[in-house]
Every structure is written in C-alpha cells, then in structure tokens.
C-alpha cells in the first residue's frame, strides 16, 4: 500500500494567502501542479477533478476537502496540498467550509490504490491536533513534517 511519505513532496504543498480564491481556481492550481509534475495534459487532470466534483461534495469534514480523480496517462499517484488563509465553501449544497485542501490524482487503472490513499488521508486528518498544526504552519516544510510523522 502506498503511504503518504511515498507520494507527498514538499514542493507540492502551498500556503495560499489569497482571501478571494475560488473553488475553480483551487482545482486549476491542483491540476496545473499535477500536470507539470507528471508531464501530462492539464485539461485531462482538471476534467477528472471537475467530473468527480459533479458527483458530490469532496468536503470530508472539519474544514478539509479532498478533491480527487483518476487520470489517463498519469504514471503514479500525485498529492497537492493547499492551506488556505481563509476557508471557502467548497460545495454550495454543503454548509461546511474548507481551509485544508488535499488534491489527489491517481492513474486511471489504480482503483484500489485510489481508495487506499483516500482512506489513509481521511483517517490521518481525523486528528484534530494534526489539523491544528497544519492551520498554524507558516511553511510548506512544517506542513510536510506534520503529515509524515
């Protein structure tokens, strides 16, 4: 099973100071980072994320959203983390906002691995102390250390 330390890279962790960022911009940022890292088409990554969002909310509670998708041409799982300065409503039908965004894309044929990574991330983020550490963090490095410990 893939563990977070295997797929998380500090260069894929961002502290977003823009108070007016939208859900669309967040998904575009995640897609761009993954496309650049993997050398694949930005639109295919973004389409995968948007299609999953159409199915239902990816807000998992406690201010955390986990947008995710499976992408053709992707060779390995990719995680992107955004810590927002201000929570946003990630889903207009869900009254819970999110300020910790964990973007995940996996190869299109990695169904089991996809579910395992989603489960591992969701389980890890049930820890209130971890969420508080992420919210207080002032660097990508400190968020990285909190997540892999």
Point out the catalytic residue in the list 23, 52, 68, 83: 68
62 a catalytic residue: no
Residues 5, 18: Cα–Cα separation, whole Å: 28
- State both tokens at 24: 């669309």
Residues 137, 53: Cα–Cα separation, whole Å: 28
Q: Is beta strand 59-61 parallel, antiparallel or unpaired with respect to 64-65?
A: antiparallel
Q: Is beta strand 97-107 parallel, antiparallel or unpaired with respect to 78-89?
A: antiparallel
Catalytic residues, which ones? 68
């Amino acid at each position: 099973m893939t563990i977070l330390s295997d797929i998380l890279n500090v260069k894929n962790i961002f502290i977003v100071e823009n108070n007016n960022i939208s859900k669309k911009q967040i998904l575009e940022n995640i897609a761009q980072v993954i496309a650049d890292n993997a050398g694949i088409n930005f639109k295919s990554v973004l389409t995968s994320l948007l299609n999953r969002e159409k199915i239902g909310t990816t807000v998992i509670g406690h201010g955390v959203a986990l947008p995710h998708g499976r992408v053709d041409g992707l060779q390995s799982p990719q995680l992107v983390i955004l810590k927002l300065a201000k929570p946003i409503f990630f889903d207009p039908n869900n009254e819970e906002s999110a300020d910790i965004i964990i973007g995940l894309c996996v190869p299109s044929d990695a169904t089991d691995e996809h579910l395992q990574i989603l489960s591992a991330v969701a389980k890890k983020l049930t820890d209130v102390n971890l969420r508080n550490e992420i919210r207080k963090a002032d660097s990508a490095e400190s968020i990285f250390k909190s997540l892999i410990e």
